[in-house]
Structure 1
């Protein structure tokens, strides 16, 4: 009879993120950092006994990952040897818990760490807290080369402790079916409304004049939308607001779409939406800003300048219309983006994580 092999223990602390417990997320939509946490946890569960802790979580197990309330975290660390602690976003962890992990990493999904704790903002937005803890931290995980530059410019930390590991997707969600055939000139938007949807709609009226069958589909929960923006969409026959959509259904909507147009001023640290768009074979037109420089790069069209200016809008509209009128170029970008995105899997990212984690725990 084979001996039972006990896996090392790896924990995530997710702070004030939404409830990721399976019962709470069944049929729900996960965005950005939450989607990344669940995906990475399930991959690492092949190698670790994985536990995800957070104040909003209820105790449950799913896909070999255990979700637990962080009210149990101190007791858990006292009664178990935690080999790796991954702190997602919220460095108030160091104020709220005694850290007993053998190796500790901070996973930055945003430009900087989240400074929030118990309804207040920590002094200097937690800058000093992070820097004072660096001797107890084995690494900061950032999402792109641009993100690393920003972190090193803002925090006094050892560059050797900053590791770039991007986000990823599940390519199998983007396997096209006959009913998912692309609709020419169909646009898709899935990000938070404050990341450029107003600029997109402003531009889209002009795109529509040049391309009369262009249609825009917006998939996002109503939270964050102003009444004015909702009214604008409702009054426009060629802008379709579809609300929150399950991630697997959303993948099929991406597959039907032709163009991902993202005139944002938001400093994306990675942008999973851009990756999803490329995997679905959408041609991408976006701001030449932050991590979009690498997540989209030369596989799409990047427009320089400030999105709220007339100059940017005119240039972006021209780029979109030119692309729609040049099917050969559009198809080449779509194929290039799809080929690259197919390599950005969570299996591949898990290997990158294991390389970093192994250097600290062996």
Structure 2
């Protein structure tokens, strides 16, 4: 049995509204000194899409602080529908400020529509994207990841199930797997510029640091994590947070890493059902036990031909479906379409069209 340490998960909604000295949030809704998913996507978008085209819009990320009166406003939503910051979207008049609401998954869009009454006509889904991860390979195209020890990885913030993952790895080591696995943990609220928020997880971090089969790496830049993924075999992700998408999972797929996670939130959609997935349960101890069993199965079956074939197919799918080359074209198409709509509206207003 995997007994997970109890941790007091912070309210992620309130975390994101805390203002630091000098101001934590930028006018576009991203955060100073943060390297979270929204910030990574924003940076990539500005690098991938024509700057002159982007300049014609005011793209707000999730949290509305400044609405332009000179440009069409796009609200690029990354968070859950029940985030208090999204309450204004229930008001049809408030939504008229935005030329389009952009969602990062169909799951997310549907929850907003069901809960807030947002019409499909005001919505657009543009999924997150990544640069494909290079995996060490042989000349015949097969992978060449060292597999004498199965490397398990966790590379998201600690409040999303790290305590459960640690308990599962502990249980494996106590039951004959000590020489077979190693657990690498890249996890800290420093990713959002909030290192002080790690305090509730100090006991979990301590367990990792003191365990021979675990290494705590703390926060590391995305390029370091991506390199670690290229050497990893299994992403242990017993998610306790409802994801609207999951860049960590997308990068794991691209790295040929087997994902073990529940069918919670957007994870089935994001992983294309390639993950080793189990039924979510609200009871933490039950969840921990189920996850531990699935993680054991993942370790046992990792080297099977069926699994390696599945992971290769999943990588090919992720590298193409979540490619920034594809997503940049989709953004460009949507933005140009919105410009045409805005131009048509102006003509109608000037009595030049219908």
Q: Same fold (TM over 0.5)?
A: yes
Tell me which stretches of 4 or more aligned residues in structure 1 moved more than 6 Å.
Answer: none
Alignment match, 1:294: 269
Deviation at 1:48, TM superposition (A): 2.4
Deviations 1:3-54 (A, max 9, x none): xxxxxxxxx952351247xxxxxxxxx2211000000111113x62546xxx
Go from structure 1 to structure 2 and tell me whether the alpha carbon gap of 1:290 and 1:300 turns closer, same or farther (over 3 Å shift).
Answer: same
Give ranges in structure 1 of 5+ residues lacking alignment: 1-11, 21-29, 52-82, 117-124
SS in 2 for 1:176: coil
Go from structure 1 to structure 2 and tell me whether the alpha carbon gap of 1:113 and 1:139 turns closer, same or farther (over 3 Å shift).
Answer: farther
How far apart, in 2, do the equivalents of 1:41 and 1:323 lie?
38
How far apart, in 2, do the equivalents of 1:199 and 1:338 lie?
26
Deviation at 1:360, TM superposition (A): 1.3
Go from structure 1 to structure 2 and tell me whether the alpha carbon gap of 1:298 and 1:228 turns closer, same or farther (over 3 Å shift).
Answer: same
Alignment match, 1:108: 77
Alignment match, 1:229: 204
Deviation at 1:234, TM superposition (A): 2.0
Contact 2:171 2:292 in 1 (8 A): yes
Alignment match, 1:267: 242
SS in 2 for 1:140: strand
Deviation at 1:177, TM superposition (A): 7.1
Go from structure 1 to structure 2 and tell me whether the alpha carbon gap of 1:256 and 1:319 turns closer, same or farther (over 3 Å shift).
Answer: same
Q: Does the alignment pair 1:330 with 2:307? A: yes
Q: Does the alignment pair 1:311 with 2:286? A: yes
Alignment match, 2:64: 91
Alignment match, 2:10: none
Structure 1 or 2: more strand by fraction? 1
How far apart, in 2, do the equivalents of 1:287 and 1:36 lie?
24
Go from structure 1 to structure 2 and tell me whether the alpha carbon gap of 1:182 and 1:308 turns closer, same or farther (over 3 Å shift).
Answer: farther
- The aligned runs of 1:157-168 (5 Å cut-off) are 157-168=118-129
SS in 1 for 2:75: strand
- The aligned runs of 1:183-202 (5 Å cut-off) are 183=147, 184-202=149-167
Q: Does the alignment pair 1:217 with 2:184? A: yes
Give ranges in structure 2 of 5+ residues lacking alignment: 1-25, 139-143, 341-354
Q: Does the alignment pair 1:206 with 2:144? A: no
Contact 2:30 2:61 in 1 (8 A): no
The aligned length equals 297
Contact 1:91 1:130 in 2 (8 A): no
How far apart, in 2, do the equivalents of 1:39 and 1:332 lie?
30
Deviations 1:207-233 (A, max 9, x none): 222422211101134523222222222
Contact 1:261 1:285 in 2 (8 A): yes
Q: Does the alignment pair 1:339 with 2:339? A: no
Go from structure 1 to structure 2 and tell me whether the alpha carbon gap of 1:220 and 1:50 turns closer, same or farther (over 3 Å shift).
Answer: same
SS in 2 for 1:245: coil
Q: CA RMSD in A?
A: 2.5
How far apart, in 2, do the equivalents of 1:141 and 1:87 lie?
10
Contact 2:27 2:65 in 1 (8 A): no
Go from structure 1 to structure 2 and tell me whether the alpha carbon gap of 1:128 and 1:245 turns closer, same or farther (over 3 Å shift).
Answer: closer
Alignment match, 1:358: 336
Deviation at 1:126, TM superposition (A): 3.7
Q: Does the alignment pair 1:257 with 2:218? A: no
Q: Does the alignment pair 1:132 with 2:107? A: no
Go from structure 1 to structure 2 and tell me whether the alpha carbon gap of 1:210 and 1:304 turns closer, same or farther (over 3 Å shift).
Answer: farther
How far apart, in 1, do the equivalents of 2:130 and 2:212 lie?
32
Select which of 204, 208, 217 maps to 1:242.
217
Deviation at 1:307, TM superposition (A): 6.1
Contact 1:92 1:115 in 2 (8 A): no
